[in-house]
């Protein structure tokens, strides 16, 4: 084993190797290994603490103390985001900065597939509704405000690839860890009301969304992304066309001046810089709608499996998930501390969250946290708990949510080739001084 201070770097560069050094065998997230003696000693030296529940500590997972990096990112109106890519811009938010019930605009993640429009003018912006409708329409933002009921809701938005960074073998794409999720308050009109005004034909099957950003290649007419949803989801009263974010304008990187907000489904359905909705008579076949994009195999596969494209299905509702937003991971608590307050949020795609559970002994025993109802459907739900520690040392707090259908967050990662839908439970590191 290298010097103790190299352990964090090793987990960063080569987590499988680090796992091997500590646990003495090849990582396998579906089974639990046991810390080898030297590994336990190395870990304890690095953490500066003993590990009361070390016997339960799983192999194949990066210890929470090493799991989250931090870096700075400067963009006007954004604060504290961690940049993953700057062309296109992709940036996520650290879990402890997502502590607010309503995600401030400055903390809302950015996921761009192409290049945002260089400048936009809300006063001349138009939205076309065409395809399988009786009355094709061209609407200004003023028309939307005048002709339809304006509503505001807190709505969760999560990238389908959030959590991809934990995939092993890795999946191509942005290596999101936890922070490609948000719950801002959005103001706009119901997509349903606009589609009804246009007169949906019986032949309508799907929506097709278009925005004003351009493809990375800069080739005119080539879309960065163009996805859609079945008509039933478009007609859900919480699927919105929005022009306001948190009481102000939409941030330029979050789709100003107009975007879709289709909560509970992959973020990619929520077209930014929205300028056209094409109502289709078949499943939309725009950019990143076909092949294996935003699709997962229709059956479970072992990590690394090659899956034929025909066996992939389009992702609809996102799975149940939660975040611990307080305390911040790697918190050091003073000697004598025997309890701490823990809180976070939980959400479940089209469903509600019905229970929230916490463990401090690597999942051996669980207690219920208290869980709030959502302020409106499709908002994430707050939860909190006091956890008690038997002694000083290194602990991980694990949190898992359970949805209204009884599904709960797994311990292991449900691997799939494109790295979507990782809803494995969130873990944070807590150390109590001796
Ligand atoms: N026009 C356009 N809309 C888009 C995208 C994009 O690249 N271009 N990215 C999508 C994806 S993949 C996600 S996860 C969400 C992210 O929204 P945000 O950047 O406001 O957080 O926007 C979606 N809408
Ligand atoms: Mo996304």
Q: Which two tokens stand for residue 416?
A: 């799939």
The DSSP line for 311-326 is GEEE--SPPPEEEEEE
Terminal alpha carbon distance of the chain: 26
Long-range contacts: 40-46, Cβ < 8 Å, 24+? Answer: 42/1, 42/4, 42/7, 43/7, 43/394, 44/394, 45/4, 46/4, 46/5, 46/7, 46/8
Q: How far is the CA of 257 from the centre of ligand 1 (A)?
A: 14
Ligand number nearest CA of 115 is: 1
Which letter, b or e, does each residue of 371-405 get, where b requires 16 or more Cβ atoms within 10 Å of its Cβ?
bbebeebbbbbbbebebebeebbbbbbbbbbbbee
Please give the number of the atom of ligand 1 that sits closest to the Cα of 288: 12
Q: How far is the CA of 267 from the centre of ligand 1 (A)?
A: 6
Which residue's alpha carbon is nearest to atom 23 within ligand 1? 268
Spans of the chain below 70 pLDDT? 1-5, 12-13, 24-34, 67-74
Q: For the chain, how big is the Rg over CA atoms in Å?
A: 23
Q: How far is the CA of 413 from the centre of ligand 1 (A)?
A: 24
C-alpha neighbours within 13 Å on the C-beta side of residue 326: 14
Q: How far is the CA of 313 from the centre of ligand 1 (A)?
A: 20
Query: How high is the pLDDT of residue 72?
Result: 52
Please give the number of the atom of ligand 1 that sits closest to the Cα of 212: 1
Which residue's alpha carbon is nearest to atom 24 within ligand 1? 271
Does 113 contact ligand 1 (Cβ within 6 A)? yes
Q: Residue 200, preceding bond cis, omega within 30 degrees? A: no
Distance CA 401, CA 407 (A): 9
Q: Which two tokens stand for residue 252?
A: 């330029």
Instruction: Count the neighbouring beta carbons within 10 Å of the beta carbon of residue 303.
Output: 16
Please state whether beta strands 274-280 and 367-368 pair in parallel, antiparallel, or not at all (unpaired). Answer: unpaired
- The DSSP H or E segment spanning 16 is helix 15-23
Please report, for the chain, the start and end positions of each structural domain, with discontinuous segments joined by +: 7-65, 76-314, 321-432
pTM of the model: 0.88
| Closest of 32, 136, 102, 67 to residue 428, by C-alpha | 67
Does 252 contact ligand 1 (Cβ within 6 A)? no
**Model confidence pLDDT, tens digit, residues 319-342:** 999 999 999 999 999 999 999 999
* Architecture (CATH level 2) of domain 321-432: Sandwich (2.60)
Query: How high is the pLDDT of residue 49?
Result: 81
Backbone angles phi, psi at 23, to 5 degrees: -100, -10
Query: How high is the pLDDT of residue 331?
Result: 96
Beta strands across the sheet bearing 81-86: 81-86, 89-93, 110-111
Please give the number of the atom of ligand 1 that sits closest to the Cα of 112: 7
Q: How far is the CA of 29 from the centre of ligand 1 (A)?
A: 31
CATH superfamily for 76-314 is Oxidoreductase, molybdopterin-binding domain (3.90.420.10)
| Domain 76-314 shares a fold with domain 321-432 | no
Query: How high is the pLDDT of residue 5?
Result: 46
Distance CA 315, CA 350 (A): 12
Q: For residue 220, give Cα distances in angstroms to 51, 184, 215, 272.
A: 58, 32, 8, 18
Q: How far is the CA of 146 from the centre of ligand 2 (A)?
A: 31
């Amino acid at each position: 084993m290298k010097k103790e201070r190299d352990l964090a770097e090793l987990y960063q560069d080569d987590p499988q190797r680090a796992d091997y050094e500590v646990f003495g065998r090849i990582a396998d997230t579906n089974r639990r290994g046991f810390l080898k003696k030297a590994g336990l000693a190395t870990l304890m030296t690095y953490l500066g603490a003993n590990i009361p529940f070390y016997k339960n500590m799983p192999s194949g997972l990066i210890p929470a103390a090493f799991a989250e990096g931090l870096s700075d990112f400067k963009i006007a109106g954004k604060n504290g985001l961690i940049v993953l890519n700057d062309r296109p811009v992709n940036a996520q938010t650290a879990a402890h900065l997502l502590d607010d019930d309503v995600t401030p605009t400055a903390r809302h993640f950015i996921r761009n597939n192409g290049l945002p429009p260089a400048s936009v003018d809300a006063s001349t912006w138009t939205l076309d509704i065409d395809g399988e409708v009786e009355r094709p329409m061209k609407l200004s933002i003023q028309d939307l405000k005048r002709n339809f009921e304006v509503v505001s809701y807190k709505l969760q938005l999560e990238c389908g690839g959030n959590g991809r960074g934990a995939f092993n073998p890795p999946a191509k794409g942005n290596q999101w860890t936890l922070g490609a999720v948000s719950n801002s308050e959005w103001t706009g009109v119901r997509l349903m009301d606009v589609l009804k005004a246009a007169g949906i034909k019986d032949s309508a099957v799907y929506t097709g969304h278009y925005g004003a950003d351009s493809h990375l290649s800069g080739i005119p007419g080539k879309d960065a992304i163009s996805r859609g949803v079945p008509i039933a989801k478009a007609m859900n009263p919480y699927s919105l066309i929005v022009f306001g974010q948190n009481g102000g304008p939409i941030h330029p990187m979050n789709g100003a001046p107009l975007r879709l907000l289709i909560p509970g489904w992959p973020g990619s359905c929520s077209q930014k810089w929205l300028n056209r909705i094409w109502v289709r008579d078949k499943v939309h076949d725009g950019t990143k709608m076909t092949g294996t994009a935003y699709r997962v195999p229709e059956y479970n596969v072992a990590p690394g499996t090659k899956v034929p494209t025909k066996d992939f299905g389009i992702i609809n509702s996102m799975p149940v998930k939660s975040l611990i937003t307080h305390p911040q991971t790697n918190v050091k608590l003073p000697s004598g501390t025997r309890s701490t307050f823990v809180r976070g949020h939980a959400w479940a795609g089209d469903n509600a969250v019905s229970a929230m559970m916490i463990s401090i002994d690597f999942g051996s025993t669980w207690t219920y946290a208290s869980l709030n109802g959502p302020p409106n459907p499709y908002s994430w739900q707050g939860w909190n708990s006091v956890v008690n520690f038997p002694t000083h040392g290194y602990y991980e707090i694990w949190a898992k949510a359970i949805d209204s259908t009884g599904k709960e967050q797994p311990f292991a990662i449900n691997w799939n080739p494109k790295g979507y839908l990782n809803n494995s439970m969130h873990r944070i590191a807590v150390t109590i001084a001796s």
